[in-house]
């Protein structure tokens, strides 16, 4: 198991006051909260910070942790010294429900597992396992065609030596056609194992769409910003455009304006009442980067009575 | 592990039918009073005349889960967490638009 430097994780000095630790935790928790944060690896950071705080906020645990000394480096292979925590009494052995199941094996080797869980095991209750929640990122196209995506989850379980170990498991999950961002898939029996003869909990997967190079999604509707040439918008034409279900031909009406929205009914996310695809026209100017192009612009300047600032009255 | 090559079929929670109050409580691991407080806060808008007839829309489960996590993890009260959820949704919509 790897040593964890809780002070380094929180970015504080070893002699930080309890107040400073709390302040730092609050700041970091807001920054890395997985529901709020756009930082990469926010979820892993948030768990790490939560674990560090669980130890450092409690003067008893902190003192015990400090007794390991300063010779350890983060990530170094670690075994707790025998009887290392003798003479320390820990109070309030129950950790916050959501966090306790996610602490590292380093934490659990030092401070044990949630006592509550231990008692359950010993008293032989048949308790249903806890439900777990995870997110799964899929491509927008998966929602159109359905498909199978694999997902790797980490969880703790007791190893042959009785110590908790991190175990990875990979699930292959069928993505139902028409699923939308923010919906949940329930996988019965894939949560935490139950105690005794209790059933395993369920696993809930929240669907997240990966960002797409040109489509964006709002509920069941899809938006495509479509670049067109000035003459295509002015004269009207028919051009091939991409949709998540494949290429279609789109008619651009005569005298289209930039920002104009064209609706393709039923071309959004499939459902009994499917979403729509909105195409937003974006007019792109050809650069005047050669003599011929400049001549054409000059000709328009001379022959078109066009004042784009007519509304300004100046 | 023999399990690892099996393909798991799940159920979409919010598909077709809406979610009832007991279902919402079960998934979020909360009691009905907590959900009722969220309804009073205006963050969940169920259809139906009273709690036993309530049905919640697709967005409700996600909102309830986020409010629950924010309350526990960041020690925010219900009104604050509700405000955060609304601002997050607004931010995500705007980000999706500029991401085009």
Residue B84, domain CATH: 1.10.1660.10
ipTM value for the complex: 0.74
Q: Please give the distance of CA A213 from its chain centroid, rounded to a whole number.
A: 18
Percent of chain B past pLDDT 70, that is, above it, reads 88
pLDDT at B59: 81
pLDDT exceeds 80 at position A274: yes
Q: B59 and A218: CB-CB below 8 Å?
A: no
Select the more confidently predicted residue: A7 or A60.
Answer: A7
Cβ–Cβ pairs < 8 A, chains A and B: 98
Q: Structural domains in chain A? A: 1-123 (1.10.287.110), 128-210 (2.60.260.20), 215-312 (2.60.260.20)
A168-218 per-position pLDDT tens digit? 888 899 998 889 888 889 888 888 777 777 888 888 888 888 889 999 998
For chain A, which residues lie within 8 Å of any Cβ of chain B, measuring from their own Cβ?
26, 29-30, 33-36, 46, 50, 96-98, 131, 133, 148, 169-174, 176, 179-180, 182-188, 190, 204-206, 211, 214, 216-218, 223-225, 280
pLDDT at A59: 87
In chain B, residues 7-46 whose CB comes closer than 8 Å to chain A? 7-15, 27, 29
Which of A36, A97, A185 is opposite residue B11, by nearest beta carbon? A185
Q: Is residue B61 part of a domain?
A: yes
| Domain that includes residue B83, residue range | 16-98
pLDDT exceeds 60 at position A116: no
pLDDT exceeds 50 at position B28: yes
Instruction: Give chain A positions within 8 Å (CB) of B10.
Output: 173-174, 176, 185-188, 205
pTM for the predicted model, two decimal places: 0.64
From the CB of residue B36, how many other CB atoms can be counted at a distance below 10 Å? 15
A65-75 per-position pLDDT tens digit? 888 777 777 76
Cα A211 to Cα A133, A152, A163: the distances in Å are: 22, 20, 40
- A71: its two tokens: 């010779």
Query: Which residue, among B5, B9, B10, B82, would best test binding to A if mutated, counting the most A CBs under 10 Å from its CB?
Result: B10
Q: Is residue B31 part of a domain?
A: yes
What is the number of residues in chain B? Answer: 100
Mean pLDDT, residues A122-132: 66
Q: Is residue B54 part of a domain?
A: yes
């Amino acid at each position: 198991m790897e040593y964890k430097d809780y002070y380094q994780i929180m970015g504080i000095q070893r002699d930080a006051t309890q107040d400073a630790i709390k302040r730092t935790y609050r700041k970091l928790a807001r920054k890395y909260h997985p529901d709020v944060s756009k930082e990469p690896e926010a979820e892993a950071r948030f768990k790490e910070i939560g674990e560090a705080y669980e130890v450092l906020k409690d003067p008893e645990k902190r003192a015990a942790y400090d007794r390991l000394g300063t010779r350890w480096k983060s990530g170094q292979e670690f075994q707790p010294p025998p009887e290392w925590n003798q003479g320390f009494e820990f109070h309030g052995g129950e950790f916050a429900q959501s966090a306790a199941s996610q602490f590292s094996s380093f934490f659990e080797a030092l401070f044990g597992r949630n006592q509550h869980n231990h008692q359950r095991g010993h008293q032989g209750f048949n308790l249903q396992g806890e439900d777990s929640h995870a997110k799964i990122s899929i491509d927008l196209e998966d929602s159109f065609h359905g498909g199978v995506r694999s997902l790797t989850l980490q969880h703790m379980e007791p190893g042959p030596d009785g110590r908790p170990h991190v175990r990875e498991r990979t699930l292959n999950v069928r993505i139902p056609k028409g699923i939308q961002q923010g919906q949940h898939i329930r996988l019965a029996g894939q949560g935490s194992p139950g105690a005794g003869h209790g059933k395993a909990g369920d696993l809930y997967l929240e669907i997240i769409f990966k960002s797409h190079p040109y489509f964006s999604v709002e509920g069941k509707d899809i938006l495509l910003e479509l670049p067109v040439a000035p003459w295509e918008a002015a004269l009207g034409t028919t051009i091939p455009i991409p949709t998540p279900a494949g290429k279609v031909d789109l008619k651009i009406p005569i005298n289209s304006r930039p920002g104009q929205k064209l609706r393709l009914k039923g071309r959004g996310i499939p459902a009994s009442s499917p979403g729509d695809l909105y195409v937003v026209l974006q007019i792109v100017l050809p650069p005047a980067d050669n003599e011929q192009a400049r001549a054409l612009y000059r000709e328009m300047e001379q022959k078109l009575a066009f004042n784009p600032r007519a509304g300004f009255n100046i | 592990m023999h399990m690892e090559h099996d393909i798991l079929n799940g159920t979409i929670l919010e598909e077709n039918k809406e979610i009832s109050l007991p279902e919402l409580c079960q998934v979020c691991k909360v009691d009905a009073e907590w959900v009722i407080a969220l309804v009073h806060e205006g963050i969940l808008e169920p259809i139906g005349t009273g709690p036993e007839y309530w049905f919640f829309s697709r967005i409700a489960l996600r909102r309830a889960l986020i409010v629950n996590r924010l309350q526990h993890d960041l020690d925010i009260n219900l009104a604050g967490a509700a405000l955060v959820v609304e601002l997050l949704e607004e931010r995500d919509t705007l980000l999706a638009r500029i991401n085009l």
